[in-house]
Amino acid sequence: MGISRRKFLGWMGAAGMAATVGKSAAASSTGQFTGFPDSKAVLHDITRCIGCRSCEDSCNKVNALPGPDQPFSDLTVLEENRRTTSKSFTVVNQYSNTSKPEKPVFRKIQCNHCLEPACASVCFVRAFTKTPVGPVTYDPDVCVGCRYCMIACPFDIPTYEYDEPLTPRIMKCTMCAPRIEEGKLPGCVSVCPTEALTFGSRKDLIKMARERILNYPDRYVDHIYGENEMGGTSWLYLSGVPFHEIGMREDLGIKPAPELTSGALGIVPMVVGLWPVLLTGIYGMTKRKEKIASNEKAAAVSDTLKRANSEAAKKLAAAIEKERLDKEKALEAAEKRKEKAIREALEKAAAKKEEDAADSPEPDNKKVHTTDDTMRSEEDS
Amino acid sequence: MSGETSTVKRTLITPFNVITGMIVLVGLMITVLRFTKGLGAATNLSDYHPWGIWIGFDLLVGVALAAGGYVTSAAVYIFGMKRYHFAVRPAVLTGFLGYLFVVVALHYDLGRPWRLPYPFIMGWGTTSLLFEVGLCVALYLTVLFLEFSPAPLEWLGFKKTRNLAVRLTMVLTILGVVLSTLHQSSLGALFLIAPSKLHPLWYSPYLPVFFFVSSIIAGLSMVMFEGMLSHHAFHEKMDETHLTESDSLTIGFGKAASLVLAGYFTIKIIGVAAGNHWDLLTTPYGIWFLVEIIGFVALPCFLYAVGVRDKNVKWIRYTAAWTVLGIVINRLNISVIAFNWHLPAADRYVPHWMEIGISVFIVTLIILFYRFIVTRMPILYEHPDYQGGGH
């Protein structure tokens, strides 16, 4: 039988006397979310579990799930390593006990109802809610069926109705949120015959668990699984064997799931804010570079043109100058030739004069005149 | 008479038509099964493996390989590589079709696809990276549609609307880069939530950076790889610029890809160092990780460099195909192969043939749409009425 509220409160009274957790310590903590005040939780004392599967049976009935393939009284299924499915929100598995092989260990698996659930943080329609009471609930009316919650859950809890073509839902333990609201215990807790399951305020249950470890140090591993795992869960575990030996991961760390993605999410607004500035800047720089390049090109072209023009002018001037010089030279040459011709003619004439003077002096005068005429005509041309 | 029938036969019953026809037929049959019997009937998905190749290939690979759109338009319009202008249209078209069919494929995987707009109507789940991916993909699909719109508008002869769309080019390009940066990286960031499930060699706080940088590589390689395929299939559709400039584009993009791959290789090694996971490199998963990092990152980086040095266009294009394969392997490693690596073999996921069938079906549809559009619209050539129009 499970525990009644009254009985539970009685225990708490006794536990409260022994447990002395300073209030100021909690108040001066670093702002870590340690759960809603007075939120409910369940303590699973694995050392008390006998693997009777009553909790599975009760869960099935309370949640109106389809009947099992094998009856819940059939304990042979314990030999397989099972997980939660869309038809069973909780399963009990059997593990061999390394220290006491004659006494196998049984562990119940169901949603741990994290304080800061991974499933809720990754759901893009906010189908999951961590209620202040404790349960993590799911709303199929908004679910799109992306199954990211199943990827995210570090405990492999959410399951899916793969054979449902039109209205598939995520299926998982609800901690019997509707029953809790009615003041009842969760289905599994209410039927546990060995009190391996205890329902109550999370803070009180942690105290109770500490006390059990303190009172029976040989019976328990000195660790409350779920107190800090993934930021803390609303399902707490006590075990007599190391938790990794009964399929519970001890490498999850104490960081709540949302912290894993908060960095990446935080960069988004920075990219939105700065990328356009950066890109426009690069665009502006490219434009400017292009403009400078085209300006430079234009300048180079005009410069080349100018240089070509001035060179052409120089060449022209030089050509004109050369022409002038050539002409002068030609004139000079002509003058020289003329002078030479005159000289020669005079010499010739003089020589002839001497000769004629020697022969007959009369025709000689006529000859000189002729020479004079020739010279005059030469000058005119 | 007999000659005529044989020509009719030749035009209809080509190997291409027969194969695509069969793929489409099988795809439609699986579609009916999927939507009448549920995911369970067509997939090997399980409670341990809620995401298979419809996410790993259709979504992650699809989005990465559609990065050519933002990479090319950024190169041309923002970084001023105007020589590559001719490559913008085919790249934007592939990007648009890629994203469109990512969304189509998503309808197969979602439990209730008709609720796809719910994140923006029912609950703004802003703490989810999937919300960010969804919002960015929805916006970017719109941007790509607008970026692509001048081509059909020219084809249909709507001059005014076309000119209006062209005037948006700069704004759309900047928006495209912003949105792509966000969702390409966020697809990697999706897995940040599961350090206990993804193998430590692939899990890294840098996952978003890895995904963004590798999307640039995917975009560059895809443009080159696609160029190779287009040159075989649509040679007669290409104009002078396309034919003469595509070699210089391949060499330019090859150089860029080699450079980015070198950076990507460096940050992947930094990722291993940051997690101090050197000891895992000798495990079977470590060897597979090395195959990815050396065979599909370092090797193509080197091969691209050699191809660029030798100006060997064919070599660069084959390297591009190899790099694209590397991107496929990387995305499947993260989403399927190295995910839930700690589980016993019996609980691991191997895709159902029908899942592969739908993925092949989707790729075939993209090719058919691409072919339909490039054989009709001015994609591989400039429309004579709008030459030198700047888009």
- Per residue in B62-79, pLDDT (tens digit) is 999 999 999 999 999 999
Q: Which of residues 282-311 of A touch B (CB under 8 A)?
A: 282-283, 286-287, 289-290
Interface test with A, best of B106, B115, B128 (most A CBs within 10 A): B128
* pLDDT exceeds 50 at position B5: no
* pLDDT exceeds 50 at position A23: no
- Per residue in A366-375, pLDDT (tens digit) is 445 544 555 5
Phi, psi of A85 (to 5 degrees): -135, 175
A85 touches chain B (CB under 8 A): yes
| pTM across the whole model | 0.84
* pLDDT exceeds 70 at position A19: no
Is B271 in a helix, a strand, or coil? Answer: helix
* pLDDT exceeds 90 at position B354: yes
Is A110 in a helix, a strand, or coil? Answer: coil
Chain A residue whose CA is closest to B39: A162
**What does each C-alpha distance from B52 to A323, B56, B115, B181, B214 come to in angstroms?**
94, 6, 20, 24, 21
Look at B110 and A265 and tell me if their CB atoms are within 8 Å: no
Q: What is the pLDDT of residue A78?
A: 87
Domains of chain B: 47-381 (1.20.1630.10)
Q: What is the pLDDT of residue B221?
A: 97
Distance of CA B216 to the CA centre of its chain: 11
Q: What is the pLDDT of residue A12?
A: 46
Residue B188: which of A158, A267, A159 has the closest Cα? A267
- Per residue in B12-31, pLDDT (tens digit) is 788 888 999 999 999 999 99
* pLDDT exceeds 70 at position B8: no
- Overall average pLDDT of the B79-105 stretch: 93
Residue A169: which of B112, B113, B121 has the closest Cα? B112
Q: Which of residues 130-159 of A touch B (CB under 8 A)?
A: 142-148, 150-152, 154, 156, 158-159
Q: Which of A124, A163, A282 sits opposite B130 (nearest CB)?
A: A124
Q: Going by DSSP bridges, is the β-strand pair A136-138/A197-201 parallel, antiparallel, or unpaired?
A: unpaired
* pLDDT exceeds 60 at position B55: yes
Q: What is the pLDDT of residue B13?
A: 80
* pLDDT exceeds 70 at position A121: yes
- Overall average pLDDT of the A217-234 stretch: 95
For residue B132, what are its two tokens?
A: 């960010």
Chain A residue whose CA is closest to B175: A276
Look at B174 and A261 and tell me if their CB atoms are within 8 Å: no
For residue A247, what are its two tokens?
A: 């399929």
- Overall average pLDDT of the A335-364 stretch: 80
- Per residue in B128-140, pLDDT (tens digit) is 999 999 999 999 9
B222 touches chain A (CB under 8 A): no
Q: What is the pLDDT of residue B314?
A: 93
Q: B45 to chain A: which residues are within 8 Å by CB?
A: 160, 162
- Per residue in B269-278, pLDDT (tens digit) is 999 999 999 9
B267 touches chain A (CB under 8 A): no
Q: What CA–CA distance (Å, rounded) separates A35 from A234?
A: 8
A126-140, A196-210, A331-345, B38-52: range with lowest mean pLDDT: A331-345
Task: Please tell me which residue, B386 or A183, carries the higher pLDDT value.
Answer: A183
| pLDDT confidence tier of residue B4, bands split at 50, 70 and 90 | very low
Chain A residue whose CA is closest to B80: A286
User: Cα distance from B194 to chain A (closest Cα, Å)?
Assistant: 6
B48 touches chain A (CB under 8 A): yes
- Overall average pLDDT of the A208-236 stretch: 95
Q: What is the pLDDT of residue A239?
A: 95
Q: Which of B47, B125, B191 sits opposite A83 (nearest CB)?
A: B47
Q: What is the pLDDT of residue B105?
A: 95
B31 touches chain A (CB under 8 A): no
